[in-house]
Amino acid sequence: MSWDYWRLLTVVSLTGFVGLLFDQMILFMFIASLLYALWLQRAWNQLWSWLQNPKKNQPPTAEGMIDDICRQIESVRLQNKSRKKKLADYLKQFQAATAALPDAVVVLGSQGQVAWANTAAKELLGISWPRDSHVRVHNLIRDPVFQKLLTAPITKKKAKIVISPVNSDSYLEMKIVSYMGNGRLLIARDMSQTVKLQKMRRDFVANVSHELRTPLTVLYGYLELFDQDSPADMWRSALPVMRQQTQRMNLMLSDLLVLSQLETGEKKLQHEPVDISVLLATIAEDAKQIKEYKQHQIKLELDSDDWLLADPGELRSAISNLVFNAVKYTSEQSIIVLRWTVANNGAYIEVRDNGMGIAEHHLERLTERFYRVDSGRSQESGGTGLGLAIVKHILKRHDAKLNISSEIGVGSQFHCFFPVAKVIKKSKALK
């Protein structure tokens, strides 16, 4: 600021001295002041143009107050630019973080329009940003439960289970939360697995109750009917039935205990070389001893002499379950094939039969607890409905998978696939 005063004083003084020489001091001082004012105006105009478009125009170079203003403006501009860059980086980090969330997040405007949405929103809700930007969310999700959730007071917005608008087999937990005053966030989480597990738990409790109620009803009926004075003939005819029902309950509880131990990992898994050729031959002989065996043709197809690293007891239990089921649910003289194959990507134990087959819609649920294709036949054969569930969990403990395929009138195939790391050469196993 002082520089401007000294400059003005210097200009006026010099022009006054020159004007004094020509006896025109006032005129010269007036002209000098006018030229100085025009020069300042030009500098101010240049400053204004620079403020309007700093990228295109250059700032004024006049020393003094204008230069100080330019320096101050440039300093503030650089600070704002740095602050804006930081905010942009924060926004990118926030969007990247929310985009990585498995839950759908949709930022809603004051009228319920989509202001922003992450990647999961497209997968779970079908809302894609920026495609659906400024579209009201109630036009995108028309489920009545969600519509009520959207219009409910913000203090009463509890989470609701809604069917996904993208996939009718998926269930979403939706809730709306407030943020920054009037702002609203729609959050949706995939609850399909939880809903499925809850249903399985309800089915499990119902099935256990039903399965135990039947033999208990039989036993209770006989006990109500008999007393100490009942004739021996009545007891003689009832005892086999009572024993059968008791064995059925005992078998069911034993299977439930085994299944629980497999699921919780209470039983330590043994890793020993198992000769699959000997194991399959032993299981084939065991199958001939069960009461349902009726001249079935059990064949062995051993394509390899390699052994398998596994828990001998659990592996025998799993394969026995598959073979005994094949004997129980196929007709007399049916063909049952036990095959052992080693390939580049792993090893297979296959149990194949030429029975009546299983309808395709049953296959996905066969390994569920108590699930039966034909409950009548299962009860007649004494099955608990837990065999394939046990097989699945045993294979899972061995990093193996159970694949089931079947065709009505042709037969069924149960493939137990083991990773190649579980295969061991016979020569190495015998050392």
Q: What is the pLDDT of residues 2-14, one digit of tens each?
A: 566 666 677 777 7
> Measured between alpha carbons, how far is residue 195 from residues 101, 169, 174, 364, 366 in Å?
21, 11, 14, 17, 19
Q: Which fold has domain 269-430?
A: Heat Shock Protein 90 (3.30.565)
- pLDDT on residue 1: 47
CATH code given to domain 194-263: 1.10.287.130
The CATH number corresponding to 101-193 among 3.40.605.10, 3.40.50.620, 1.10.1660.10, 3.30.450.20 equals: 3.30.450.20
pTM: 0.53
Domain with CATH 3.30.565.10 in the chain: 269-430
Tokens 């917005």 appear where? 157
Q: How is residue 63 annotated by DSSP? A: S
Domain with CATH 1.10.287.130 in the chain: 194-263
- pLDDT on residue 219: 79
What's the rounded Cα separation, in Å, for the pair 120 and 125? 8
What's the rounded Cα separation, in Å, for the pair 160 and 340? 50
What's the rounded Cα separation, in Å, for the pair 118 and 98? 6
- pLDDT on residue 300: 93
Domain with CATH 3.30.450.20 in the chain: 101-193
Instruction: Compute the chain's Rg from CA coordinates.
Output: 42
Per-residue pLDDT of the chain (431 residues; tens, 9 = 90+): 456 666 667 777 777 777 777 777 777 777 877 887 777 777 777 777 777 777 777 766 666 666 667 777 777 777 888 888 888 887 777 777 777 778 888 888 888 888 888 888 888 888 888 888 888 888 888 888 888 888 887 665 578 888 888 888 888 888 888 877 777 888 888 888 888 878 777 777 776 776 677 777 777 787 777 777 777 777 777 788 788 778 777 777 777 777 777 777 777 888 899 999 999 999 999 988 888 888 889 999 999 889 999 999 889 989 998 999 898 888 888 999 999 999 988 999 999 999 888 888 888 888 887 777 765 544 555 566 788 888 898 899 889 999 999 988 889 999 999 999 998 888 776 76
For 272, half-sphere exposure in the C-beta direction (CA atoms, 13 angstrom radius) is: 11
Structure tokens at 301: 């197809």
